[in-house]
Each structure stands twice: as C-alpha cells, then as structure tokens.
C-alpha cells in the first residue's frame, strides 16, 4: 500500500526494509527457536503470528490508555508513516484484535519498532511476545484454582525467585475488581511467568529472578520480572492485570485477566550467548548455520573483525525549533551506515563561555560482523554522514 507523507513522517528506507524479514518465523533462527519454545510451554494458548507491523496510532496508543503527553508518542521514540499510521512499538497494539476473536488465552509474536541509541544491546527493530489470559469475574477464583497445577519439581531447585512487591496506592488493584478475584489473577500471572522462566533457564546455574513494581498504561497493578545475569539485573518481562476498559472495549466486560510482554532478543542473547544484537539480522551462513530447530545451542563466534573509530563533532543551533535529540542523530547514522556501526557514544559536551553555543562530539565505532572494513570505505561513509547530519539537524560541523 501507498501512504501519504506528512510532517510526522520519520520512517526510513532501511527500517522499512526490515518489515518483511520476519525473523521470528524463520525455522532455524534463534528468535524463532525461542518463540517455539515459549509456545510449547503455553500449549493451550491460541498463537497469533501474522499481524501486520503497520498499525494506527489509535491501536498503538489510544486503545491502550496512553495519555496524550506520553513520551512514547514522540517522533524521537516512534516511527511514523504519517500522523495516524505508524510501525507498532509493542505487540500490545494487537491485544484488542486478539480479544475480539473470542480467544481467552493467546500469544502474539511480532517484530516491533522503536527509535533508540546505538550499542550492542539496542536495535531499532526487535521482537516481542505478548501473552494474555482472561477469566470470568464471577467464576475466576474457581477457574484459576483448576488452571493452576503448582509444581514442586526438584529440577528447578537452583532457581531463586525474590518477590517483595506489595499492592499500594502507587501500584493499585483496580477499583472495579473484587480484591479476592484480583489477588487470584495476580497469583496465576506470577506463577505462570515464574514457571516459564524456570523452564527457559533450567541449564543456567543458580539463576536469580526478582519482581519489581512498574507502571504501564494498560495494566494495573503492574510489574517487571528481572534476571541476574553476568553481574547485572536484566529486565526480561513487563506484566500486570489488564485495565478493565480494554476488556470492556474488546467486548469482554464480564472478564478479568492478565497480560505480559517478553523481549525475545534480551532472553535469546542470554540463552544462545549472542554478544551483539546486530547478529540476529545477519545473513552470514556462519551465523545461521550454527542453529538447529527446537534446540538451544550456544553461539560460537566466527571472528572479531577490527573496529574503525571516527569522531564527529558539531556546534548546536540555539534555535529551539531544531532541538537536538540523540535518537535523531543515531537514526541518521543507521540510515547511512546501516549495521556497520557497533556503537555510538557521546564523548564531549562543551558550552562556549562567551557565545553560549553548545558543542557535541560523538565517537562512532565502525565494525562489521562478517568482514574487515577498509579505512577508505569508512571514510566515504563518514563523509556522507557528516553532510547528512549538517543538513538534517541544522548544525555546524567542526
């Protein structure tokens, strides 16, 4: 389809080219292997894997209760085709569609799009899995009791789960939900996700899991699940009790339920030991051929090619109409250099004492994942990048 451009249009050709890749459906790809693994765990759930990445702003924000001033609506955070059409930023954009099919428990897997900074753990396209289950409000306690088969399997004894969260005024049960019913729904949600994580990380020694309070416009109460990996806590999942207005508008006013959103790359990087998120998009057979359908196999690096470091500095324009945002800079870098850039770091931020003009200097680390780049090639890319930055950001190069 053709869509008209307008002043909000900020999606680039390089991003649009990713919309047809569908890594989560490629049988031997780590993202697809992980998706199959989770779908096997939720084997009684309906699986939606074919929703279009192009959605309306109503689907992506309004139906989910995002306030008008939410930062996620900003053009520095999201990719817009025009003012009413965009690339989804989360799988929750299809939650209402899924509920309207009549499914009471389902998974949605998809590629999602967000403007972001550049490093080895962030990419403008990544993959999410949405999960949701609803129960009749009048029969929820009985339905949940039947559905939960609490396991004390010894195979999970090395998993340590820490949950000190409490219901509070800052993370409340919705007033329309009976407390006993809400508590049962919460117990079912946390049990389901705890068991999922234990299954996924069964081979990781002494895995630590913790729950922390969170906020999402479409759930209340809300939490994030984190795992302790290589010395730091990593968020792997956001979840909560679905806002009742969403169920009411989806034709399910007599139901209560929970929903979660998993970041598949974050989990896959741990399970498959993949060090750079760009590798998921590699077409190099030395990457793809390492993996087998339905198996978790640790990635074996095939080479570490040398990096080529280039700095780019410029004076800012003091005009507020051209306010600088780092994601706009990173988007230009991606559009010119694509996946040749490993990371971008701000190394100097200077304010001239007399002119009050601000100068920024960014260090760009060029490194291909499958070949050695020549200095001549990178210089050519850097020249294009400098011209594009000066033109699109209205800055003065140094």
pLDDT digit string (tens) for 152-210?
444 555 567 889 999 999 999 999 999 999 999 999 999 999 889 888 888 777 778 89
**88 DSSP 8-state letter:** -
Residue with structure tokens 């074996």? Answer: 300
pTM of this structure = 0.90
Contact 392, 332 (CB under 8 A): yes
Q: How far is CA 186 from the centre of its chain?
A: 23
In three-state form (DSSP H/G/I as H, E/B as E, the rest C), the secondary structure along 168-203 is ECCECCCCCCCHHHHHHHHHHHHHHHHHHHHHHCCC
pLDDT tens-digit readout, 254-264? 999 999 999 99
Q: Which residues of the chain have pLDDT under 50?
A: 151-154
**DSSP reduced 3-state for 392:** helix
């Amino acid at each position: 389809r053709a869509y008209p451009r307008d002043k909000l249009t900020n999606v680039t050709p390089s991003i649009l080219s990713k919309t047809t890749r569908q890594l989560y459906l490629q049988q031997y790809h780590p993202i697809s292997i992980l998706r199959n693994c989770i779908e096997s765990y939720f084997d009684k759930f309906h699986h939606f894997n074919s929703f279009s990445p192009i959605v309306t702003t109503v689907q992506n924000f309004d139906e989910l209760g995002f306030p008008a001033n939410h930062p996620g609506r900003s053009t520095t955070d999201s990719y817009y085709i025009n003012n009413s059409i965009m690339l989804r930023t989360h799988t929750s954009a299809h939650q209402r569609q899924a509920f309207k099919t009549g499914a009471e428990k389902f998974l949605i897997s998809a590629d999602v799009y967000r403007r972001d900074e550049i490093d080895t753990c962030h990419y403008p396209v990544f993959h999410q899995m949405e999960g949701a289950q609803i129960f009749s409000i009048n029969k929820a306690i009985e339905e949940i009791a039947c559905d939960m088969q609490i396991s004390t399997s010894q195979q999970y004894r090395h998993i340590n789960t820490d949950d000190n969260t409490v219901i509070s005024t800052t993370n409340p049960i919705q007033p329309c939900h009976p407390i006993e019913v809400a508590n049962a729904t919460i117990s079912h949600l946390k049990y389901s996700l705890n068991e999922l994580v234990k299954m996924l990380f069964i081979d990781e020694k002494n895995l630590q899991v913790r729950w922390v309070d969170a906020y999402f416009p479409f759930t209340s109460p809300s939490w994030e699940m984190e795992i302790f990996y290589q010395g730091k806590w990593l968020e792997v999942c956001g979840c909560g009790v679905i806002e009742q207005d969403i169920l009411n508008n989806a034709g399910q006013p007599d139901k209560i339920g929970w929903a979660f959103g998993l970041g598949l790359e974050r989990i896959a990087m741990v399970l498959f030991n993949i060090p750079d998120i760009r590798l998921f998009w590699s077409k190099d057979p030395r990457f793809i051929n390492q993996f087998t359908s339905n198996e978790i196999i640790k990635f074996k690096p095939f080479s570490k090619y040398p990096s080529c470091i280039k700095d780019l500095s410029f004076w800012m324009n003091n005009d507020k109409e051209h306010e600088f945002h780092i994601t706009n800079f990173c988007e230009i870098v991606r559009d010119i250099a694509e996946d040749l850039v490993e990371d971008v770091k701000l190394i100097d931020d200077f304010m001239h004492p007399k002119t009050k003009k601000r100068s920024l200097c960014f260090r760009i680390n060029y490194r291909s994942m499958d070949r050695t780049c020549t200095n001549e090639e990178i210089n050519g890319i850097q020249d294009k990048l400098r011209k594009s930055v000066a033109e699109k950001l209205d800055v003065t190069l140094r």
